[in-house]
Amino acid sequence: MQTFREYKVKITVKTLLPDFKQAKFDSKNSTTINNPYFPLVSGTLSTYEGKEIDEDTGEVELEKREVLVTNDTKDILGVTSRVVQEKEFENGVLSEETLSYYAQDREGNVWLLGEDETEYEYDSQGNLVNTDKSDSWLAGQNENLPGLIMDASPENGEAYYQRFEIGEQEQEQAKIVDTDTSISSKFGQFEDVIKIKEFSESDEFEYKYYAKGVGEVFTEEIDDGEVDFSSSLIKVQDINQPTASNPETIFGSLGADAIEVDGSNQIIFGGADADLIDASINSEGGNRIYAGGGDDTLILGARDRVVGGAGADQIFVTNGGDNTITGGAGADQFWIATAETPDIANTITDFTSGEDVIGLSGLGIGFEDLSITQNGDNALIDANGQDLAILLGTDAASITAENFVIV
């Protein structure tokens, strides 16, 4: 949980100002943003689409938003941030472009340190006539302070500033209104979704929906109590390593599927029923796997991002490591090391003690060989000096031999 301090300003809810001075950042890891509800993987391009009716013409307008997590960084207030480029299009015409600067502290909180925003204005013939950068801001300049985008441990009712400018009455704020909702979008069905209200004025605001292991999946704009516009995540691509010879997205059926992932940086949807998805043989990693419903079996290699979904899933890591794993609802088994230790620790976003278990096999060790320590809000599991797994939002003292299956 992030430290907050109160700041007196005219607001509609009791909003607290995140205390940036108390946050601790690692110089090498502040751009590794793996908060389960706000993951930013370099090279990932997410596309959102929505439609709305133009109030003046009555015509339907198609709006598209592209969010690219770049490989670039920017140092702000002594912290290295990740640069994210966002482009908004109206009927195919670029209307706005923003570079946002994000950093994650040791506890897993994601901070916003500034935005370079450019709005484009066109005449009736479609010619560019003006650009406006007046909404740009940077923490540390002109009385601007960093804001919080996603808490490491989101709590229902929590309210905080996403940007704060001293002396201003209207501030960019957020309030968590639900931490256990479900949402159906064009990208899929998601459970355990966080719903956040974002606003600066009382009568106009947005509801944003964040799914574990994915991030933002759906947005609703509210005006005078009614949904004025909505947009949905429709596609996620990895553009660092394009694979033209391989399919971009793989879909399973409503039955029990056996899917062998061939290639890397693929998106796999298992669908309903008990699926077997193997990404350990012919894949170089970097895949996004959504198992869906059913008691699924997932076999991972390296650098995969996995959401098990509903059901009692078994998730095996064979080599490499550096996977980000969300089990989802149900009693899941996380086999964090099989036959060999991972090169980089695997991250489990939603381990539930008493329901889920952690598995180790073929290492020739017992529970007494493990070291389980606290690292911020997370528990770190180590064997003989080798990091095996990070359990996000977990108290290390609560992890005992009862949480393990070792064979």
Output the pLDDT for position 211: 92
pLDDT digits (tens, 9 = 90+) for 198-254: 887 666 789 999 998 899 999 998 877 777 788 999 888 877 643 333 445 667 666
Q: Is 158 exposed, middle or buried (0-12, 13-18, 19+ CB in 10 A)?
A: buried
Pairwise pLDDT comparison (132 vs 265), residue with the higher score = 132
Distance CA 61, CA 74 (A): 35
Pairwise pLDDT comparison (352 vs 171), residue with the higher score = 352
Q: Report DSSP letters for 133-162, one per residue.
A: -TT-EETTSTTEE-EEEE-SS--TT-EEEE
pLDDT digits (tens, 9 = 90+) for 268-278: 877 667 888 88
Output the pLDDT for position 396: 93
Pairwise pLDDT comparison (57 vs 95), residue with the higher score = 95
Output the pLDDT for position 255: 67
φ, ψ at 226 (rounded to 5°): -120, 150
Q: Would you say the pTM of this structure is higher than 0.85?
A: no
DSSP-derived 3-state class of residue 54? coil
Pairing mode, strands 188-199 and 172-185 = antiparallel
Output the pLDDT for position 12: 43
- In the predicted structure, residue 48 carries a pLDDT above the cut 90: yes
What domains does the chain contain, in order, with CATH numbers? 4-237 (2.40.360), 244-406 (no CATH)
Pairwise pLDDT comparison (7 vs 41), residue with the higher score = 41
